[in-house]
Every structure is written in C-alpha cells, then in structure tokens.
Structure 1
Amino acid sequence: MEERMGRRFAGKVALVTGTAGGIGRATAIRLAGEGARVVAADRDRDGLARLADDIGPLTALVYDAANGDASAAMAREAVAAEGRLDMLVCNAGIYRRGHFEDIAREEWDAVIGVNLTSVARIVQAALPALREAQGSAVLLASTAATHGIAYAAHYAAAKAGIVALAKSLAVEFAPAGVRFNAVAPGRVKTGISAGLAPLERQDPSLLVRSPRLAGLTEGGEPDDIAGVIAFLLSPDARYVSGSLVSADGAQNVG
C-alpha cells in the first residue's frame, strides 16, 4: 500500500464497519495510510482478508449487522482487542428497492435493523472507550435522508434516523468531548450502485429521471467519501460536531 504523506492518526485506533468493499474499504485504507490502527468489521471474511493484504496488519472481526446483539458484541471485542478506541465509522448497511405498497414487514424491519438499529447498538457499546479517548464518530447517512428517494422509503427512513442520531449524540456527548457527525453520499460507484442499473432496466418505473442525478460526473468514487470521513475524524475538524456533510457532486442542490 502506498503510504500517504500525513500521519495525523498515528497511535489512534479506528473501528470501521462494512470494510469488505466500497466506502468502508476505502476509509480503512485511508485511515491506515495516515497512521491509524484499523479494526475492520464485516460479514465477508474473504473481503476482510483481501483488505489485510492491502494495508497490512489489522484486527478483523466478522459479524452480522442484522443482529443487534452481535453488533454490540463486535464493538466491545474491538475495544478489548486494541485496548482503546479513538475513531468509529459506522458504514455497514443494506439497500433494498421496491414500490412502497409492496414492502413486506420483514423487509422493512431488516432495512431499519441493519441501517439504524445496528448502528445505535454499536455506538452504545463503543461509547465508554470513545468517551475515555475524547474520540470522534462518523455515521454514514445518505442524500436520501434529506431529499427522499422513490421506491426506497425504508432506506430513506433509516438514513434519516442516522442523521437524527448523529445530531442528538453530538449534543448529548459534547460535554464529554466526543464528536459525532454524519456524511451523506450521493451516488457512489460501489457494489450497491452497480446493482441499480439492471434493476432499473427490469422495471423502468424504479428509475427516477432527474437532471440532478448526473451531478458532477456519473458518480463519485469511494475515495471521495473516505476523504470527507477522514477530515471529520481528524483534529482539523475539532470544532465540527453535529453536522451533516453532503458529498454528492451537486446532485441535490436546491
């Protein structure tokens, strides 16, 4: 791995979820490149092994984000393995699409469970260590949280919950010196977005036709979001807490 010039995270420990690919993987690589010891968590054991091949020694934890108890246990295991926790990035999530009238109770619960409830459980378990380190957390939201998205109401609702969670925790834990922020990516070239095109071809009604979707390009790269996350975790953002930062290439201006 090509090491970056900066070492602003030297001696720090970061727990990043959803690291087998996409934004989570890019974030883990970015933080490790700037000196952090990374705890990488994902359900994909092979993906974690590939990440270790790229960035070197790390603590890899396999967990099921659909299970709240397992998510909390994973966070406690991360702290126990490294003895501290300075940075938390809750990135793991799932995306489902369909007409609202057709969303089954089980699918609604699954999307809310992975994208919101699991995140809350991880934060709860990590808070003692974050408080001790006066650390920082970044929770991954989505532009769907603020602008809505057709045919993914459950996903948008979960991500809106993430925004509210980050803002509420920022206020509650400001006296303890712990910062919380949320990042709202637009369309990014990840496994999730790659799966949208075939779905839209099968059912054209799932494609929301809007000039906003073009943004600056056809979509951002995971590294674009990782850079924003790294800034929010860094000392350069010491006075930034309770913020929602959009990284969407002007897709949702206005």
Structure 2
Amino acid sequence: MPRVAVVSGGTSGIGRAVAVRLAADGFEVVAFGSDRERVARLRDAHPELDARCVDVTDADAVHALVADVHARSGRVDVLCPAAGIKHPGGVADTAVETWDRTFAVNVRGAFLLTRAVLPGMVRRRSGCIVYIGSPSARGGVDHAAYVSSKGALHALAMAVALDHVGDRIRANTVVAGATRTGMNRRRPEAVFARLAEGNAAGRVNEPEDVANVVAFLASPAAETISGACIDVGAFAGQGVLDDGKAHP
C-alpha cells in the first residue's frame, strides 16, 4: 500500500514541486489549490496527482478534504502545507485586510490542515508534517505581514513537534531561501544575483531544491528528525531583505 501525502499550494511553485517529487517517490499525492485554472493545468500535466480545488482557509472544506482522503486511502502519512502569499508593506502601510488574508493563508491554512490530519496520525502513532518556512521569519523589511506570518508558522511547527513527540509524529520546517517561484516574479535579476551570493551552490533555489529536502524529511531516513529548521539556500541565522542582501 503506497504512503499518502497531502500538499496545499500544490498547483504552483514549491508546493507543486513537492507534490511531483513525492509522487515520483511512490506516494499517493493529493495536491490542492484554490485557483480552478491552475488545478486543471496541474491535472493535465501530472495525471498521477489527485489535483483538487480547495480553499485552504476554509475550515469546513479542509476538514472535508482530509475526511475524504481517509475514506479513500485510510490514512495521511505526510502533510506539507505549502500554500503561501506575500504582499509588500511595512506595518504602517499594511491594510488590515492584507494582514488578515496573509495570516489566513500562511498560518490558518497550515493550522487547519495540521488539526485535520493529527487525529489519524495519533491513532497510528506515525506521521510526518513538513512546513515551508522562510528566512524572513528572522526579520525583513517592507513585508511586515509576510515576515510575521512566517515567524508564526515556524512557532507552530515547533509546537506540533513538542506536543506530539510521544505520538511518534515528526514536524519540521524547511526554510526556503530565495527561490524562483511566482511569489518572487517581480524581483529583478540583479537581486537574484545578489541573493545567489548567499547560497553555497552559487545560485538561487529552484522549487525542486526545496522539494528534495521535503522528500528526505518524508522518508524513513529522517525518522529521528523532528523540531528541526533546515535551511535551503540561506545561511542559518540570517534574514534576506528585499534589497537582496543577507542580514543577521
């Protein structure tokens, strides 16, 4: 019986790369997003994935999704809440609606999914949750809502890891440094070049680089790892600001 993975934000960027990689590793993957056109394109490009249209901020919809996965497959072995949004603006420039929406997608969505899969994982005394973090959680300029939401997400991951270590459930965070995704499409190449200087590979991440680390954490090889933050393309202890410089 194949292991089962659920990936939010699975129609683009890092989430899509994670879904495709886990499917290649033999997982039965349910990947979802809220944009119907993107879901349709994912379904056409990767028929091996169970692509669905679900709003990650909708508690009832998330509960129904996980319940359906359990009804069909009997379990969720791996959860990767990869859905995320990012808007520029400092605290004084950020509308309340923007703040609330950012936290709804980046934090509430991860919380709802985690809450939905945990009972089944606890019953089986087995499970792996991999959150997609950011060096922005350590600080950044002109993105107050995003920075704050990623800090909260990192804290959520640690709370889950500590609360459920006795249940043999692992929770880790992959800290995705500068990565070529739609979220960063407005960054000029000069900024990417600066960011590449802080990457041991001499380049910025591709989504597949992050997916490779998620796949490792989801594998039996990582069965003793929980509560970790693994940096991909960003030095530990640094935050990356929008000027492309790495700052402590």
Same fold (TM over 0.5): yes
Q: Indicate if the aligned counterparts of 1:112 and 1:158 stay in contact, CA closer than 8 A.
A: yes
**1:197 Cα deviation from its structure 2 partner:** 3.9
**How many corresponding residue pairs?**
236
Answering whether residue 221 of structure 2 is matched by residue 229 of structure 1, we say no
Give 2:66's aligned amino acid.
A
**1:131 Cα deviation from its structure 2 partner:** 2.3
> Counterpart of 1:215?
198
> Counterpart of 2:32?
41
Partner Cα separation in structure 2 for residue 11 and residue 62 of structure 1: 23
Normalization by structure 2: what TM-score? 0.86
With 43-52 and 87-96 compared, the bigger mean Cα shift is at 43-52
**1:213 Cα deviation from its structure 2 partner:** 6.3
> Counterpart of 1:113?
104
Q: Deviations over 1:147-199 (max 9, x none)?
A: x110111111111111111111111111111110011101100001113449x
Question: Structure 2: any 5+ residue segments left out of the alignment?
Answer: 239-245
Q: Deviations over 1:108-156 (max 9, x none)?
A: 111111100121011101112222340101011111112x110111111
Partner Cα separation in structure 2 for residue 58 and residue 213 of structure 1: 32
> Counterpart of 1:154?
145
Match of 2:136 among 132, 140, 144: 144
Answering whether residue 1 of structure 2 is matched by residue 18 of structure 1, we say no
RMSD: 2.5
Give 1:145's aligned amino acid.
A
Partner Cα separation in structure 1 for residue 178 and residue 228 of structure 2: 20
Answering whether residue 227 of structure 2 is matched by residue 242 of structure 1, we say yes
Q: Deviations over 1:9-29 (max 9, x none)?
A: x71000011111111111111
Partner Cα separation in structure 2 for residue 173 and residue 157 of structure 1: 25
> Counterpart of 1:83?
74
Partner Cα separation in structure 1 for residue 140 and residue 211 of structure 2: 23
Residue aligned with 1:119, SS: helix
Distance 1:176 1:50, change over 3 A: same
Answering whether residue 152 of structure 2 is matched by residue 180 of structure 1, we say no
**1:211 Cα deviation from its structure 2 partner:** 5.4
Give 1:151's aligned amino acid.
D
> Counterpart of 2:241?
none
Partner Cα separation in structure 2 for residue 215 and residue 75 of structure 1: 38
Question: Structure 1: any 5+ residue segments left out of the alignment?
Answer: 1-9, 201-206
